[in-house]
Amino acid sequence: MEPLEDLVVDGNAIGGLLIEVFGTEMTTAVGTCGSCGMVAQVAELAVYRPGLGTVVRCRNCGNVLMVFVQARGVTCVDLRGLASLVS
Amino acid sequence: MAGTAVRGRLTWQTATVSSVADETARVRTITLSVPDWAGHRAGQHLDVRLTADDGYVAERSYSIASAPGEPLAITVERLDDGEVSPYLTEDLRPDDEIEIRGPIGGYFVWDPPGQAPLLLLAGGSGVVPLRAILRHRSRTGSSVPARLLYSARSLGEVIYQAELAQPADGVEVIYTLTREQPPGWSGYARRVDQPMVAEVAWPVARAPVAYACGPTNFVEAVAADLVALGYQPVKVKTERFGATGGG
């Protein structure tokens, strides 16, 4: 795995957002990448926050696993990059 | 604000500032009074939400600095171009109110009793959740040996300096001062690297558990060093806060 760049954080940083979306603590949930099959706890995933949303990527292959966009009190969630997410 | 927090749900709560205390020139600890606080685990964090007069909202996540059972506190580093931290570190006064939600996180936490020796690796204000872990260790009477390797630019930037100067039994605190050292300094004076991690880390045979928190490049480096030493990746808990801490 390539080291993460400076501006990237990890899944710990979005624990609050994830509780908002899923209704439960999710940083210890286990996700499986739909592209490479890498299995990791959400806390260990790479998190990019370019401003308007939150993008969560696989540490192994860079595949986009989750996208969250918030506007006017509504959170849009895209989980298509995940093969599974088990809390 | 009506209603009480529903268990398992995260609701914004009003916290009243009980006290503020400067840790360094740029870092302040803020103690909060929250009527419905559910309690927390050592290493967890909380979100702070500030709403401007025009309705603009900014949220940031901060590690909880206090041990479970102690008055809730966060320690905040001021980032000059931040949206939230300048307010928290310069303007906030006792009796002021802020909105918070938490506790948050189940990964970067330490619960006693635990038998594994603790290796704590802090880059800058990454020391905050590790301090909560050390205080919790002391308050619960744990005797697991603990080592804290703390990388700071200078002694003046060391947070909790007085507290860390008198560690509890079984706790060792090792500094590396990367930019400026006081006269006669005999400790480490460079960025954390593989030889330093190898010198400080518990032997793998003792089945230690490591917690690394700090800027992303710091955490990436020390986690890789520990795995190279033979630490199991699942025993190296990491929390990365980006380049600066995020604001």
A61 part of a folded domain: yes
Q: CA-nearest residue of chain A to B215?
A: A6
Instruction: Give how many domains chain A has, as a whole number.
Output: 1
- Helices marked H in chain B: 85-86, 127-139, 161-164, 194-200, 216-229
* pLDDT, average across residues B24-36: 96
| Both tokens assigned to A17 | 């957002």
Residue B243's pLDDT is 78
Question: Mean pLDDT for chain B?
Answer: 94
Kindly list the structural domains of chain B, giving each domain's residue range(s) and its CATH number in brackets, ordered by start.
Answer: 13-104 (2.40.30.10), 118-240 (3.40.50.80)
Residue B243: exposure state from Cβ atoms within 10 A (0-12, 13-18, ≥19): middle
Q: CA-nearest residue of chain B to A40?
A: B234
**ipTM here:** 0.91
Residue A46's pLDDT is 97
Residue of A10, A12, A27, A38 to mutate, testing the B interface (most B Cβ within 10 Å of its Cβ): A12
C-alpha to C-alpha distance for B128 and B140, rounded to whole angstroms: 19
Assign B247 a pLDDT band (cuts: 50, 70, 90).
low
Residue A15's pLDDT is 96
A16 part of a folded domain: yes
C-alpha to C-alpha distance for A7 and B224, rounded to whole angstroms: 18
Residue B128's pLDDT is 98
Residue B130's pLDDT is 98
Question: Mean pLDDT for chain A?
Answer: 93
Q: A50 to chain B nearest CA, in Å?
A: 12
A4 part of a folded domain: no
Q: A18 to chain B nearest CA, in Å?
A: 10
A73 touches chain B (CB under 8 A): no
- First-to-last C-alpha distance (Å) of chain A: 24
CB-CB contact of B109 with B41 (8 Å): yes
Reported as type and span, the H/E element at residue A20 is helix A15-22
* pLDDT, average across residues B121-129: 97
**Residues 104 through 163 of chain B touching chain A, CB cutoff 8 Å:** 104-108
Residue B48's pLDDT is 96
Q: A24 to chain B nearest CA, in Å?
A: 6
C-alpha to C-alpha distance for A47 and A12, rounded to whole angstroms: 9
Residue B5's pLDDT is 44
Reported as type and span, the H/E element at residue A84 is strand A82-86
Q: B236 to chain A nearest CA, in Å?
A: 11
A2 touches chain B (CB under 8 A): no
pLDDT (tens digit, 9 = 90+) per residue, A44-69? 999 998 778 999 999 999 999 999 99
C-alpha to C-alpha distance for B229 and B201, rounded to whole angstroms: 9
| Both tokens assigned to B62 | 């901060």
A3 part of a folded domain: no
* pLDDT, average across residues B88-111: 96
Residue B244's pLDDT is 64
Residue B3's pLDDT is 44
A71 part of a folded domain: yes
Name the residue range of residue A19's domain. 9-86
Residue B7 has pLDDT above 60, yes or no: no
C-alpha to C-alpha distance for B122 and B6, rounded to whole angstroms: 34
Residue B23 has pLDDT above 90, yes or no: yes
* pLDDT, average across residues B151-175: 97
* pLDDT, average across residues B226-237: 96
- Residue by residue, pLDDT tens for chain A (87 residues) are 777 777 799 999 999 999 999 999 999 999 999 999 999 999 999 999 877 899 999 999 999 999 999 888 899 999 999 999 999
Residue B8's pLDDT is 54
- Helices marked H in B100-246: 127-139, 161-164, 194-200, 216-229
- Residue bearing the bigger pLDDT, B3 or A75: A75
